[in-house]
Structure 1
């Protein structure tokens, strides 16, 4: 690691000790991040959730036993961002478990993905998990409306939400099998170890107690009495924050294959927490490691476990942080470590980790489009936008397409070709999923993003029950609303089809 960066991290760790930052976080001191307590003091429940949620595990387990006994085989999780990412990580990392349900996550408004999901279901043996902290997430409520029209039986639905939301009322009125109320002092992206992550995990047969034990061990290692240089959360957070301040703000994740999906969860946590007020750390997940020559001087590599590419990267002068990896069973500890580290990184950057001031912009822009307004979908040609790419930028592919292996494979080939050609970091996100993840960073973070919005017109469609629009119209409005929001922030953006993108790049 560069000596200047290493010295800056060491100095920051000393400052954390001197200013009692860890102790103040545990004490709920909002002034670590903000002069105002709003969206800080009421967002720190994740620090101790592993100690409180344990008492509810038997309740979740009883539900699993009941649905398995009744012949249910599949759970479909209807949720966006923090309401679904941790559950997806756990299911894909542990894999199907004996005595557990199969899990499908639906977080797309693309009618082709909705149709593919429906075709994969035996509705008589399917449990729908309707998950939304606010209880008003448009994608989730649209999915609920669609499947409720197909199967208007409350015993096939459960809800996870906060107290007093519209979703809670729907669940009670329609006599859902269960309505789980989450603690209100936990924001969506910090909710991995709450009902949002653990109810689906238990339904899939995953040992939630094991996850909570790991989280509690990590919390013990992050006790206020631990010096910051030995503190897993403070050390990682200080390194990420100082790296960003020193121009290495592209957090490139190197994850073992069995937990590579963890990158999606870290991406949301870091991007939405840090990406505001012109600051931000850009998480890079899913990008394959390559020869050090393709990387600029803006990278910080963080690896869980070892990888043969790490040595050459270090030899070439790139900073590499290694975090021990103990298999999927350590995910509870990693969730907790990264939450604390992100809170520390935000302290270093001087931003509030718990708000998302720009997320509402794309939602409002979508509403304008659905009401008949919206901007011109035409953008400058892709070649003209790519000609503006400079060192230190990142290229973000924003795909309003079905999220499946075939489409992802095509986008991955494009991203790696762009990375190798321009020597910049690349990301791939599927809309509207990424609007609940990296969307905050795109608008509120540094103006170093170059965006390629990828769209096409679905040949099939599904109506959203109770609304004057279809899923294809909703997805199109979200894409145009996102485009308008990016242009409002003077971001460099081109809008193309996947075929045209491939033709221009490959």
Structure 2
């Protein structure tokens, strides 16, 4: 079987309760048949132009030969390395596809100058860059493209031979790229970015890197019919009911990798679910967990567990652990989770295809870059760590340790902590360990997001979902800054504006925020860990 699912405990009860109604209401065939009315009148206009992902397998088939031909052409020209400039859905799907296939792809989904410089310095002479942006106006992607164009020219390489663009037809990037002479792949405009894994956004960088993308589509096709049928065995209906139909609602979804061959699937599922469901004060918060995560021993009442395993078995309803277990091929997993997220939206009573609060952080960032206000003075400095935050956190703090304690005191019984690391993740990968430390200390679910990547995914949930989050933001002074060609600000200034802008939007929504800036990241990290422990 290309996909298996089993449920127990609260998830099993949710499936028994909701799936028969979903079948009776013809939800599965409605999704496949582009029934935009499934999510209510307020969502109908958006849903009408966002259901193309149900046809991604068929629509994407002609791309396979074209992508493979371009890969051969690039190989003949000496290109052996693919880099990807993209954010959110444009980068997370190719990342899990290539990691699972054990194929090399450099994913540049950051504006941190150290990370950009690392990408520019990685085999540039044999590199081609895929620039992916659905809207064609993503600031991060545009800045990354400009940096690569300049680097290629400086190395005596014509960018026209090394840059491939993936975007929606008619977007600003599409028009500019065609006028300039770049190779362009257009994606289906009726597919939202986070549902685009099986479109050109997922396939072009993956295929050029060496993945057998025809096989990936084959994997998805094996489950397509089962997902379209109004039947109680439909895995999309089962998974959607299991994650959004518990009573009372378990609105934190712990995603655990436990034996599956798929690498990094939790990060992709996180952005799909959080950005799709976190709105109108509702939503499901995905929490990517380690197998020994503190949250697992605490038996939290609002945490639903889903375990990605090698084989979930033949029976849907099982006894034992109170959890969801799923297994299957990567292509099938993509499609099942997309259907399940659409089903979850219906059960929650929200539109799973818009992202109204993502734009707020972009507006705040743009305003800061235009106005260039003087930096807000730190409330205090501990070692080399500058401490700032909302008054409810900073007002009761005297040093870094007390500020962290106050932040933890702000966590409600049904709340969560979000760590937002606007740093060079290649240089500071150890920051991910803070997640488990804070989960142990707080007894609550803790998420970890690399900034600015998460702004295009969980950032929607932070502002639009239930108002129970508290936020630890970590930034750094760049070791070396980098100009953005043709733009009046640097990468270092851009990422700082993105961090400060998002913090201001969170504060406007009444969310507690603690902002820590590492003035010397290499030296300050140990002090940060000591304070958080």
TM-score by length of 2: 0.87
Assess if the C-alpha contact under 8 Å between 1:294 and 1:420 holds in 2.
no
**Displacement after TM superposition at 1:345 (Å):** 0.6
Q: Secondary structure at the match of 1:84?
A: helix
| Distance (whole Å) between structure 2 residues aligned to residue 408 and residue 428 of structure 1 | 12
Alignment match of 1:195 (pick from 187, 192, 200): 200
Distance (whole Å) between structure 2 residues aligned to residue 92 and residue 197 of structure 1: 13
- Tell me the CA shift for residue 175 of structure 1: 1.5
Of 261, 277, 281, which residue of structure 1 is paired with 2:280?
Answer: 277
Instruction: Measure, in 2, the Cα distance between the counterparts of 1:161 and 1:254.
Output: 32
- Partner residue in 2 for 1:457: 477
For the residue of structure 1 that corresponds to 2:217, the secondary structure is helix
Separation (CA, whole Å) in 1 of partners of 2:13 and 2:422: 43
Q: Check the 8 A contact 1:82/1:192 in 2, yes or no.
A: yes
- Name the SS of the counterpart of 2:428 in structure 1: helix
Does the CA contact (< 8 Å) of 1:127 and 1:158 recur in 2?
yes
Structure 2 counterpart of 1:160, from 150, 166, 172: 166
| Equivalent-residue separation in structure 2 for 1:270 and 1:254 (angstroms) | 15
Structure 1 residue 294 and structure 2 residue 298: aligned?
yes
1:304 aligns with 2:305: no
Distance in 2 (alpha carbons) for counterparts of 1:366 and 1:117: 24
RMSD: 2.1
Deviation at 1:6, TM superposition (A): 3.9
Closer, same or farther: CA 206–307 of 1 in aligned 2, 3 Å: closer
In 2, the alpha carbon distance for the partners of 1:3 and 1:173 equals 57
Deviation at 1:278, TM superposition (A): 0.4
Q: Which residue of 1 aligns with 2:252?
A: 250
SS of the residue 1:496 aligns to: strand
User: Do residues 68 (structure 1) and 75 (structure 2) align?
Assistant: yes
Instruction: State the Cα distance separating 1:66 from its structure 2 match.
Output: 0.4
Q: TM-score, normalised by structure 1?
A: 0.91
Check conservation: 2:311, 2:326, Cα contact below 8 A: no
Distance 2:164 2:311 in 1: 41
CA distance 1:182–1:125, change in 2 (3 Å): same
1:501 to partner: Cα distance: 3.4
Of residues 294-303 and 126-135 in structure 1, the stretch that sits farther from structure 2 once superposed is 294-303
Deviation at 1:306, TM superposition (A): 5.6
* Structure 2 partner of 1:99: none
Q: Do 1:295 and 1:423's aligned partners in 2 also have CA atoms closer than 8 Å?
A: no
User: 2:457 and 2:331 mapped to 1: Cα distance?
Assistant: 20
Q: Once the 2 structures are TM-superposed, how far is the Cα of residue 413 of structure 1 from its aligned partner?
A: 2.5
For 1:4 and 1:148, how far apart are their aligned partners in 2?
53
Residue 56, structure 1, aligned to residue 58, structure 2: no
CA shift in 2, pair 1:237/1:257, >3 Å: closer
| Equivalent position of 2:406 in the other structure | 384
Which stretches in structure 1 are left out of the alignment for 5+ residues?
A: 97-101, 309-313
Deviation, 1:209, is: 1.4
Cα distance in 2 for partners of 1:439, 1:290 equals 23
One of 207, 210, 217 as aligned partner of 1:205: 210
Matched residue, 2:119: 117
| Corresponding residue number in structure 1 for 2:385 | none
Q: Cα offset for 1:104?
A: 0.4
Deviations 1:325-374 (A, max 9, x none): 4xxxx111110000000000111001111000100000000011112267
Deviates more, 1:382-391 or 1:135-144: 382-391
Deviation at 1:487, TM superposition (A): 0.6
CA distance in 2, matches of 1:23, 1:258: 31
Q: 1:306 to 1:207 in 2, by over 3 A?
A: closer
Contact 1:129 1:158 in 2 (8 A): yes
- C-alpha distance in 2 between matches for 1:24 and 1:343: 11
Output the CA distance in 2 between the equivalents of 1:65 and 1:279. Answer: 47
Q: Distance in 2 between matches of 1:107 and 1:163?
A: 22
DSSP 3-state at the match of 1:370: helix
Is the partner of 1:462 in helix, strand or coil?
Answer: coil
Query: Matched residue pairs, number?
Result: 484
Q: 1-side partners of 2:9 and 2:148: how far apart? A: 57
2:355 corresponds to which residue? 356
The offset of 1:162, in angstroms, is 0.6
1:400 lines up with 2:422 in the alignment:
yes
Give the one of 455, 460, 476 matched to 2:496. Answer: 476
Classify 1:232/1:2 alpha carbon distance in 2 versus 1 (closer, same or farther; 3 Å): closer
Structure 1 residues 392 and 57, CA, compared in 2 at 3 Å: closer, same or farther?
same
Q: Which residue pairs with 2:26 in the alignment?
A: 20
* 1:247–1:264 Cα change, 3 Å: same
Q: Which shifted more, 479-488 or 416-425?
A: 416-425
TM-aligned CA deviation for residue 307 of structure 1? 10
Asked if the contact 2:8/2:323 (under 8 Å) is kept, the reply is no
Change beyond 3 A, Cα 1:455–1:295? farther
